[in-house]
Amino acid sequence: MNKLIFILSFLILPITSLSYEIVRDPITENYLSNILNDVSSENIKVNIINDQNSNAFVINRQIYVHTGLFNDLNTEDSLKSILFHELGHIKNNHYETKYESVLRAQNNSSINNIVALGLAVISGNPGLGITTSASLNQNLINQLSKNSINMEIEADNFMIQKIKEYNLSTVDLITFLNIKKLNEKQFNSSHPSSNDRIIQLEEFSKFDSLNSKEFDWVKSKYSKKSENIAYNNFFINLENGLSNIKDIDTNFHLLAKYETYKKGIPINNPLGIYEELIKYNDNSYLLLEYINLIIDNDVNDKFNFIEESKQNKSLRDELYFNYIYGKYYNKINNLNLANFYFCQFYQLIKLNDKVEYYCKNYNEKNISQIDLSYAIFK
């Protein structure tokens, strides 16, 4: 296993200025989801947007967080408060209300399909593999995520309730909003003023809060300026193609090895690293990466695990599920099932020349009922 294995990251296509780039980061996604799962019975999915603006929004009961937030927020309490604000939008069904109004205005029934697919940007060549990134149409998302002042107030009220409940410090959040006041114009039409929000927040906790190491890890990754100098240096070195794990505290060695591997730097036993990670991180994209690694390394004794994992609904909901399973069945020379799954994948992303080829080259009579039940397109 010494050869370098690329994991769902062969090709990153250019993203236009009118789109948001989604970055799949199972570690950060899991960290943010765990914060929300502590306060909500609903399993909230969090997506990372590669954008230096400090923003977060809700689409289709999922939260999207810009990487710029990790640069501008200095405390975990501030991050939690913003996540709770977005959770307030979900709890009050604001997206559904806004979606209906946009749909009526657009008079375009295809808008649901566009948002559901995430406007994926992928490689047209299955031999090259697939990109970790996808993009969302910025204009469309701006329409769908722009809420009324009343909606924003309801979300703020939910956030404030949680700030009280969890005794969160608001010091850093107030500083953040004071900076936001410099760009107040862009918020005037749909947000309460930063001044009004600051007045509310000043009633609450003024103490300095402590950050978890998980927060410092994520902030170091996206800003290189957390309170943990060792984490900052690790990610700075990683960007330069170097990996120095010895200064990282032992509990984070596993994450450091994972980040090293994802950066394309060879490490020992990457399969073992994934197996340790998935013991406590149930992120479906991490699982998909692990399955892809099994396939690329021809780990035959793990193929039963791949078969069993098809029962995992969260895995099946991943955009690249059908691609990876097409790849798996191609590996074990079950071309009928391989073509079936590739057919599903290329229909999903509307790559018509691939659809024509793969969808004509399998026999439905030889596809099991369980596989047919997973099909998106019947």
Please, which pLDDT band fits residue 5 given cuts at 50, 70 and 90? very low
- Stretch 247-256: mean pLDDT: 96
Residue 373: per-residue pLDDT: 94
- One-letter amino acid of 225: K
The Cα-based distances of 32 to 6, 24, 46, 70, 249 in angstroms read: 26, 13, 7, 12, 21
Residue 267: what residue type? I
Let me know whether 260 and 295 are in one domain.
Answer: no
Residue type for 249, please? D
- Do 337 and 259 sit in the same domain of this protein? no
Say if residue 177 is in the same domain as residue 318. no
Give the pLDDT mean for 34-62: 90
Q: Which domain holds residue 326?
A: 269-378
Highest-confidence segment of 13-27, 94-108, 328-342: 328-342
Last residue of a domain, one of 216, 243, 268: 268
Long-range contacts of 173-177 (CB under 8 A, 24+ apart): 173/73, 173/75, 173/77, 173/78, 173/81, 173/82, 173/201, 174/198, 174/201, 174/202, 175/74, 176/54, 176/72, 176/73, 176/78, 177/201
Q: Are residues 323 and 240 in the same domain?
A: no
Position 328 in a domain: yes
Q: Which two tokens stand for residue 164?
A: 């009280």
Tell me 186's DSSP state.
G
Give me the pLDDT at residue 193, please. 61
Is 251 inside any structural domain?
yes
Phi/psi at 374 (5° precision): -85, -10
Tell me which of 195 and 26 has the higher pLDDT: 26
Mean pLDDT of 183-207: 65
Domains in the chain, number: 3
- For residue 94, pLDDT over 90 is answered with no
Instruction: State whether 184 and 150 are in the same domain.
Output: yes
Q: Above pLDDT 70, what percent of the chain?
A: 79
Residues 176, 39 share a domain: yes
For residues 105 and 146, membership in a common domain is answered with yes
For residues 349 and 250, state if they share a domain: no
Helix (H, G, I), strand (E, B) or coil at 125: coil
| 364 in any annotated domain | yes
| pLDDT at site 108 | 53
CA pair distance 148, 163, nearest whole angstrom: 23
194 and 317 inside one domain: no
- pLDDT at 198 exceeding the cut of 60: yes
159 and 181 fall within a common domain: yes
**Is the pLDDT reported for residue 302 higher than 50?**
yes
Same domain, 133 and 80: yes
221 within some domain = no
Residue 247 and residue 182 share a domain: no
Distance CA 48, CA 83 (A): 13
Q: Who's near 231: CB < 8 A, 6+ residues apart?
A: 216, 217, 220, 221, 248, 252
Question: Which structure tokens are listed for 241?
Answer: 């193609």
Residue 160 confidence (pLDDT) above 90: yes
Indicate the pLDDT class of residue 65, thresholds 50, 70 and 90. very high
368: nearest Cα among 327, 300, 310, 314: 310
CB 207 within 8 A of CB 231: no
Instruction: Report if residue 244 sits inside a domain.
Output: yes
Query: 29 lies in a domain?
Result: yes
Mean pLDDT of 104-115: 51
> Is 350 inside a domain boundary?
yes
Of the pLDDT bands very low, low, confident and very high (cuts 50, 70, 90), residue 233 is very high
- Stated length of the chain: 378
Predicted confidence band of residue 180 (pLDDT cuts 50, 70, 90):
confident
Q: pLDDT digit string (tens) for 257-287?
A: 999 999 999 999 999 999 999 999 999 999 9
Residue 43 lies in a domain: yes
* Per-residue confidence (pLDDT) for residue 184, from 0 to 100: 52
Output 361 or 147, whichever has higher pLDDT: 361
More confident residue, 135 or 335: 335
pLDDT-derived band at 75 (thresholds 50, 70, 90) equals very high
pLDDT at 191: 56
